[in-house]
Chain A
Protein backbone atom coordinates (compact mmCIF):
# COMPACT_ATOMS: atom_id res chain seq x y z
CA UNK A 1 0.00 0.00 0.00
CA UNK A 2 3.09 2.24 -0.04
CA UNK A 3 2.62 4.09 -3.34
CA UNK A 4 6.07 4.71 -4.88
CA UNK A 5 7.13 7.85 -6.76
CA UNK A 6 5.89 8.03 -10.34
CA UNK A 7 2.43 6.53 -9.84
CA UNK A 8 0.50 9.65 -8.84
CA UNK A 9 0.04 12.85 -10.80
CA UNK A 10 0.76 16.20 -9.07
CA UNK A 11 -3.00 16.90 -9.25
CA UNK A 12 -3.39 13.97 -6.84
CA UNK A 13 -0.37 14.15 -4.58
CA UNK A 14 -0.31 17.90 -3.94
CA UNK A 15 -3.84 18.09 -2.43
CA UNK A 16 -3.20 14.93 -0.41
CA UNK A 17 -0.01 16.48 0.99
CA UNK A 18 -2.10 19.48 2.08
CA UNK A 19 -4.69 17.24 3.76
CA UNK A 20 -2.00 15.27 5.57
CA UNK A 21 -0.14 18.37 6.82
CA UNK A 22 -3.41 19.88 8.13
CA UNK A 23 -4.36 16.67 9.97
CA UNK A 24 -0.84 16.38 11.39
CA UNK A 25 -1.00 19.94 12.71
CA UNK A 26 -4.39 19.36 14.36
CA UNK A 27 -3.15 16.04 15.77
CA UNK A 28 -0.16 17.70 17.47
CA UNK A 29 -2.49 20.22 19.14
CA UNK A 30 -4.94 17.54 20.29
CA UNK A 31 -2.17 15.33 21.66
CA UNK A 32 -0.53 18.22 23.50
CA UNK A 33 -3.68 18.86 25.53
CA UNK A 34 -3.90 15.32 26.87
CA UNK A 35 -0.23 14.38 26.97
CA UNK A 36 1.50 13.50 30.25
CA UNK A 37 5.12 12.46 30.80
CA UNK A 38 4.06 8.87 31.58
CA UNK A 39 2.54 8.55 28.07
CA UNK A 40 5.80 9.26 26.26
CA UNK A 41 7.17 5.67 26.25
CA UNK A 42 3.87 4.37 24.82
CA UNK A 43 3.96 6.83 21.93
CA UNK A 44 7.51 5.71 21.17
CA UNK A 45 6.56 2.03 21.36
CA UNK A 46 3.50 2.54 19.17
CA UNK A 47 5.63 3.90 16.33
CA UNK A 48 8.23 1.15 16.74
CA UNK A 49 5.49 -1.50 16.70
CA UNK A 50 3.90 -0.14 13.54
CA UNK A 51 7.29 -0.03 11.81
CA UNK A 52 7.91 -3.68 12.72
CA UNK A 53 4.49 -5.11 11.87
CA UNK A 54 4.82 -3.62 8.36
CA UNK A 55 7.99 -5.68 7.87
CA UNK A 56 5.94 -8.89 8.07
CA UNK A 57 5.08 -9.28 4.40
CA UNK A 58 2.52 -11.97 3.72
CA UNK A 59 2.51 -13.73 0.35
CA UNK A 60 -0.85 -14.44 -1.31
CA UNK A 61 -1.73 -16.46 -4.43
CA UNK A 62 -1.31 -14.39 -7.57
CA UNK A 63 2.32 -13.52 -6.87
CA UNK A 64 1.88 -10.51 -4.66
CA UNK A 65 2.43 -9.58 -1.01
CA UNK A 66 0.96 -7.26 1.57
CA UNK A 67 1.13 -6.52 5.27
CA UNK A 68 -0.72 -5.17 8.28
CA UNK A 69 -0.10 -1.55 9.32
CA UNK A 70 -0.86 -1.66 13.03
CA UNK A 71 -2.64 1.69 12.79
CA UNK A 72 -5.91 0.20 14.08
CA UNK A 73 -4.47 -1.06 17.36
CA UNK A 74 -2.58 2.19 17.95
CA UNK A 75 -5.82 4.13 17.41
CA UNK A 76 -7.73 1.95 19.91
CA UNK A 77 -5.02 2.01 22.57
CA UNK A 78 -3.83 5.62 22.33
CA UNK A 79 -6.49 7.35 20.25
CA UNK A 80 -6.80 8.17 16.53
CA UNK A 81 -4.96 11.52 16.79
CA UNK A 82 -1.94 9.88 18.41
CA UNK A 83 -2.06 7.24 15.66
CA UNK A 84 -2.01 9.98 12.99
CA UNK A 85 1.31 11.23 14.36
CA UNK A 86 2.89 7.85 15.16
CA UNK A 87 2.07 6.21 11.81
CA UNK A 88 3.08 9.35 9.89
CA UNK A 89 6.49 9.31 11.59
CA UNK A 90 6.90 5.66 10.58
CA UNK A 91 5.90 6.33 6.96
CA UNK A 92 8.34 9.24 6.70
CA UNK A 93 11.19 7.00 7.97
CA UNK A 94 10.20 4.21 5.58
CA UNK A 95 10.18 6.57 2.59
CA UNK A 96 13.36 8.52 3.38
CA UNK A 97 15.57 5.77 4.78
CA UNK A 98 14.27 2.54 3.23
CA UNK A 99 12.74 3.69 -0.06
CA UNK A 100 9.41 2.11 0.94
CA UNK A 101 6.84 4.50 -0.53
CA UNK A 102 7.73 7.59 -2.54
CA UNK A 103 8.60 11.16 -1.61
CA UNK A 104 6.02 12.78 -3.89
CA UNK A 105 3.44 10.22 -2.75
CA UNK A 106 4.26 10.58 0.96
CA UNK A 107 1.22 12.76 1.62
CA UNK A 108 -1.03 10.23 -0.11
CA UNK A 109 0.48 7.30 1.79
CA UNK A 110 0.10 9.15 5.09
CA UNK A 111 -3.49 10.01 4.20
CA UNK A 112 -4.29 6.36 3.42
CA UNK A 113 -2.48 4.68 6.29
CA UNK A 114 -2.00 7.31 9.01
CA UNK A 115 -5.38 9.09 8.73
CA UNK A 116 -7.93 6.75 7.12
CA UNK A 117 -7.04 3.60 9.07
CA UNK A 118 -6.93 5.18 12.56
CA UNK A 119 -10.25 6.99 12.19
CA UNK A 120 -12.14 4.17 10.44
CA UNK A 121 -10.84 1.72 13.06
CA UNK A 122 -11.68 3.95 15.99
CA UNK A 123 -15.18 4.85 14.77
CA UNK A 124 -15.92 1.22 13.93
CA UNK A 125 -14.90 0.09 17.40
CA UNK A 126 -16.94 2.77 19.13
CA UNK A 127 -19.98 2.00 16.97
CA UNK A 128 -19.84 -1.78 17.48
CA UNK A 129 -18.69 -2.05 21.10
CA UNK A 130 -21.79 -0.72 22.83
CA UNK A 131 -21.95 -0.28 26.60
CA UNK A 132 -20.24 -2.58 29.10
CA UNK A 133 -19.35 -5.18 26.51
CA UNK A 134 -17.79 -8.53 27.51
CA UNK A 135 -14.40 -9.76 26.28
CA UNK A 136 -15.87 -11.65 23.33
CA UNK A 137 -17.80 -8.63 22.19
CA UNK A 138 -14.65 -6.49 22.53
CA UNK A 139 -12.67 -9.04 20.51
CA UNK A 140 -15.24 -8.92 17.70
CA UNK A 141 -15.44 -5.12 17.75
CA UNK A 142 -11.66 -4.68 17.64
CA UNK A 143 -11.27 -7.31 14.89
CA UNK A 144 -13.84 -5.46 12.80
CA UNK A 145 -12.08 -2.16 13.58
CA UNK A 146 -8.74 -3.39 12.19
CA UNK A 147 -10.39 -5.24 9.31
CA UNK A 148 -12.43 -2.28 8.09
CA UNK A 149 -9.65 0.24 8.70
CA UNK A 150 -7.21 -1.50 6.38
CA UNK A 151 -9.91 -2.43 3.85
CA UNK A 152 -11.17 1.14 3.44
CA UNK A 153 -7.57 2.37 3.13
CA UNK A 154 -6.89 -0.25 0.43
CA UNK A 155 -9.98 0.84 -1.52
CA UNK A 156 -8.98 4.50 -1.31
CA UNK A 157 -5.48 3.58 -2.51
CA UNK A 158 -7.05 1.69 -5.41
CA UNK A 159 -9.11 4.76 -6.34
CA UNK A 160 -5.99 6.96 -6.22
CA UNK A 161 -4.27 4.53 -8.61
CA UNK A 162 -7.32 4.06 -10.81
CA UNK A 163 -8.13 7.72 -11.47
CA UNK A 164 -4.62 8.46 -12.82
CA UNK A 165 -5.35 7.40 -16.44
CA UNK A 166 -8.40 9.74 -16.35
CA UNK A 167 -6.39 12.68 -14.99
CA UNK A 168 -3.15 12.53 -16.92
CA UNK A 169 -2.32 11.14 -20.33
CA UNK A 170 0.15 12.12 -23.02
CA UNK A 171 -0.51 13.32 -26.59
CA UNK A 172 -0.55 9.69 -27.71
CA UNK A 173 -3.34 8.93 -25.22
CA UNK A 174 -1.15 6.75 -23.06
CA UNK A 175 -1.33 7.34 -19.29
CA UNK A 176 1.49 9.42 -17.78
CA UNK A 177 1.43 7.87 -14.33
CA UNK A 178 -0.31 4.79 -12.83
CA UNK A 179 -1.58 3.06 -15.97
CA UNK A 180 -4.49 0.88 -14.81
CA UNK A 181 -8.14 1.97 -14.75
CA UNK A 182 -10.44 1.64 -11.72
CA UNK A 183 -11.87 -1.59 -13.16
CA UNK A 184 -8.44 -3.16 -12.61
CA UNK A 185 -7.14 -1.38 -9.50
CA UNK A 186 -10.22 -1.77 -7.30
CA UNK A 187 -10.61 -5.55 -7.68
CA UNK A 188 -6.84 -6.08 -7.38
CA UNK A 189 -6.61 -4.18 -4.10
CA UNK A 190 -10.01 -5.29 -2.77
CA UNK A 191 -9.59 -9.04 -3.21
CA UNK A 192 -6.13 -9.28 -1.63
CA UNK A 193 -7.05 -7.05 1.30
CA UNK A 194 -10.59 -8.24 2.05
CA UNK A 195 -9.53 -11.91 1.87
CA UNK A 196 -6.08 -11.76 3.42
CA UNK A 197 -4.26 -8.66 4.67
CA UNK A 198 -7.24 -7.06 6.41
CA UNK A 199 -7.94 -10.30 8.26
CA UNK A 200 -4.37 -10.16 9.53
CA UNK A 201 -4.78 -6.51 10.58
CA UNK A 202 -8.05 -7.46 12.32
CA UNK A 203 -6.38 -10.31 14.22
CA UNK A 204 -3.42 -8.16 15.28
CA UNK A 205 -5.85 -5.49 16.51
CA UNK A 206 -8.19 -7.89 18.32
CA UNK A 207 -5.54 -10.11 19.95
CA UNK A 208 -3.55 -7.18 21.29
CA UNK A 209 -6.55 -5.13 22.35
CA UNK A 210 -8.26 -7.94 24.25
CA UNK A 211 -4.90 -8.75 25.87
CA UNK A 212 -4.66 -5.17 27.16
CA UNK A 213 -8.29 -5.12 28.30
CA UNK A 214 -7.94 -8.40 30.17
CA UNK A 215 -4.48 -8.31 31.67
CA UNK A 216 -3.39 -4.75 32.10
CA UNK A 217 -4.96 -2.31 34.42
CA UNK A 218 -4.24 0.80 32.35
CA UNK A 219 -6.66 3.24 30.73
CA UNK A 220 -7.27 2.41 27.06
CA UNK A 221 -8.39 5.25 24.83
CA UNK A 222 -11.19 3.41 23.04
CA UNK A 223 -12.68 2.15 26.34
CA UNK A 224 -13.11 5.65 27.74
CA UNK A 225 -16.60 6.97 28.15
CA UNK A 226 -17.32 9.89 25.89
CA UNK A 227 -14.44 9.93 23.46
CA UNK A 228 -14.32 11.89 20.24
Chain B
Protein backbone atom coordinates (compact mmCIF):
# COMPACT_ATOMS: atom_id res chain seq x y z
CA UNK B 1 0.00 0.00 0.00
CA UNK B 2 1.35 3.45 -0.84
CA UNK B 3 2.04 5.89 2.00
CA UNK B 4 -0.69 8.12 0.59
CA UNK B 5 -3.28 5.34 0.80
CA UNK B 6 -2.10 4.49 4.31
CA UNK B 7 -2.59 8.10 5.34
CA UNK B 8 -6.16 8.11 4.02
CA UNK B 9 -7.02 4.85 5.80
CA UNK B 10 -5.65 6.28 9.06
CA UNK B 11 -7.94 9.28 8.55
CA UNK B 12 -10.90 6.94 8.12
CA UNK B 13 -10.02 5.00 11.29
CA UNK B 14 -9.70 8.26 13.25
CA UNK B 15 -13.18 9.27 12.05
CA UNK B 16 -14.57 5.90 13.18
CA UNK B 17 -13.15 6.32 16.68
CA UNK B 18 -14.48 9.90 16.89
CA UNK B 19 -17.94 8.88 15.59
CA UNK B 20 -19.60 8.85 19.06
CA UNK B 21 -19.43 12.67 18.93
CA UNK B 22 -22.37 12.30 16.54
CA UNK B 23 -24.24 10.33 19.20
CA UNK B 24 -23.29 12.22 22.37
CA UNK B 25 -23.65 15.78 21.06
CA UNK B 26 -27.33 15.44 20.04
CA UNK B 27 -28.08 13.64 23.34
CA UNK B 28 -26.54 16.41 25.41
CA UNK B 29 -28.74 18.97 23.64
CA UNK B 30 -31.70 16.60 24.00
CA UNK B 31 -32.33 16.73 20.29
CA UNK B 32 -34.97 14.34 19.05
CA UNK B 33 -35.05 12.60 15.68
CA UNK B 34 -34.05 14.23 12.43
CA UNK B 35 -36.99 16.12 10.90
CA UNK B 36 -39.36 13.70 9.14
CA UNK B 37 -37.69 10.58 10.56
CA UNK B 38 -40.00 9.96 13.51
CA UNK B 39 -41.13 6.46 14.44
CA UNK B 40 -44.76 5.39 14.78
CA UNK B 41 -45.01 6.38 18.44
CA UNK B 42 -43.54 9.87 18.03
CA UNK B 43 -45.57 10.60 14.90
CA UNK B 44 -48.73 9.48 16.72
CA UNK B 45 -47.95 11.93 19.50
CA UNK B 46 -47.21 14.77 17.07
CA UNK B 47 -50.43 14.28 15.07
CA UNK B 48 -52.86 12.74 17.55
CA UNK B 49 -53.28 9.81 15.13
CA UNK B 50 -51.14 7.51 12.99
CA UNK B 51 -51.85 7.76 9.24
CA UNK B 52 -53.29 4.49 7.86
CA UNK B 53 -50.76 3.95 5.06
CA UNK B 54 -47.93 4.79 7.43
CA UNK B 55 -49.15 2.17 9.90
CA UNK B 56 -49.06 -0.49 7.18
CA UNK B 57 -45.53 0.21 5.89
CA UNK B 58 -43.57 1.75 8.77
CA UNK B 59 -42.39 -1.52 10.34
CA UNK B 60 -41.87 -3.44 7.13
CA UNK B 61 -38.23 -4.14 7.84
CA UNK B 62 -36.54 -5.16 11.08
CA UNK B 63 -32.94 -4.04 10.73
CA UNK B 64 -30.44 -6.22 12.61
CA UNK B 65 -28.59 -3.22 14.16
CA UNK B 66 -31.24 -0.55 14.71
CA UNK B 67 -29.94 3.00 15.30
CA UNK B 68 -26.29 1.88 15.16
CA UNK B 69 -26.84 0.34 18.59
CA UNK B 70 -25.83 -3.32 19.02
CA UNK B 71 -27.09 -3.37 22.62
CA UNK B 72 -30.47 -2.51 24.09
CA UNK B 73 -32.08 0.92 23.92
CA UNK B 74 -31.56 1.32 27.64
CA UNK B 75 -27.78 0.71 27.50
CA UNK B 76 -25.66 3.41 29.15
CA UNK B 77 -24.26 6.22 27.01
CA UNK B 78 -20.65 4.93 27.24
CA UNK B 79 -21.86 1.46 26.21
CA UNK B 80 -23.86 2.93 23.32
CA UNK B 81 -20.78 4.93 22.29
CA UNK B 82 -18.84 1.67 22.13
CA UNK B 83 -21.59 0.10 20.00
CA UNK B 84 -21.55 3.21 17.81
CA UNK B 85 -17.82 2.72 17.13
CA UNK B 86 -18.44 -0.98 16.42
CA UNK B 87 -21.21 0.04 13.99
CA UNK B 88 -18.75 2.43 12.33
CA UNK B 89 -16.34 -0.45 11.77
CA UNK B 90 -19.12 -2.73 10.47
CA UNK B 91 -20.04 0.11 8.08
CA UNK B 92 -16.44 0.58 6.90
CA UNK B 93 -15.98 -3.14 6.24
CA UNK B 94 -19.31 -3.47 4.39
CA UNK B 95 -19.07 -0.21 2.40
CA UNK B 96 -15.41 -0.63 1.42
CA UNK B 97 -15.85 -4.38 0.88
CA UNK B 98 -18.85 -4.05 -1.44
CA UNK B 99 -17.19 -1.24 -3.41
CA UNK B 100 -14.02 -3.32 -3.71
CA UNK B 101 -15.85 -6.40 -5.00
CA UNK B 102 -18.05 -4.32 -7.31
CA UNK B 103 -15.12 -2.48 -8.92
CA UNK B 104 -13.12 -5.70 -9.26
CA UNK B 105 -16.09 -7.21 -11.11
CA UNK B 106 -16.27 -4.17 -13.40
CA UNK B 107 -12.53 -4.44 -14.14
CA UNK B 108 -12.89 -8.12 -15.07
CA UNK B 109 -15.68 -7.39 -17.54
CA UNK B 110 -13.68 -4.72 -19.34
> Which B14-50 residues have a C-beta within 8 angstroms of A?
15-16, 19, 21-23, 25-26, 28-37, 39-40, 43, 47, 49
B96 to A: closest C-beta gap in Å: 4
Number of residues from B at the complex interface, CB < 8 A: 67
* Proximity string of chain B (78-110) to chain A, C-beta cutoff 8 Å, 1 when within and 0 when not: 000000100110111011111110111011011
Q: Are A99 and B66 in contact (CB under 8 A)?
A: yes
The size class of the interface chain A forms with chain B is 35 or more
Nearest CB of A to B98, in Å:
5
Residues on the B chain within 8 Å of A216, using CB = 4
Q: Establish whether residues A89 and B102, one from each chain, have CB atoms under 8 Å apart when the complex forms.
A: yes
Whether A123 is near chain B, meaning CB under 8 Å from some CB there, is no
Summed over the interface, the residue pairs from A and B with CB atoms below 8 Å come to a total of: 207
Rounded to whole Å, the gap between the CB of B99 and the closest CB of chain A is: 4
Q: Decide: B31 and A40 in contact? CB cutoff 8 A.
A: no
Residues from chain B with a CB closer than 8 A to the CB of A182 are none
Which residues does chain A contribute within 8 Å of B63, judged by CB atoms? 95-100
B91 touches A51 (CB 8 A): yes
With an 8 A cutoff between CB atoms, is B74 at the interface?
A: no
Q: Which 5 A-B pairs have the closest CB atoms?
A: A99-B63, A176-B53, A6-B58, A56-B22, A44-B96
What are 10 pairs between A and B in contact, CB < 8 Å? Answer: A6-B54, A49-B15, A52-B15, A52-B88, A57-B26, A57-B31, A63-B31, A65-B31, A100-B68, A174-B49
A-to-B contact residues, CB < 8 Å: 1-7, 9, 28, 31-32, 35-37, 39-41, 43-53, 55-60, 63-67, 85-86, 89-90, 93-100, 102-104, 157, 161, 168, 170, 174-179, 185, 188-189, 192, 216, 218
Task: Point out residues on B near A: beta carbons under 8 Å.
Answer: 1, 4-5, 8-9, 12, 15-16, 19, 21-23, 25-26, 28-37, 39-40, 43, 47, 49, 51-68, 84, 87-88, 90-92, 94-100, 102-104, 106-107, 109-110
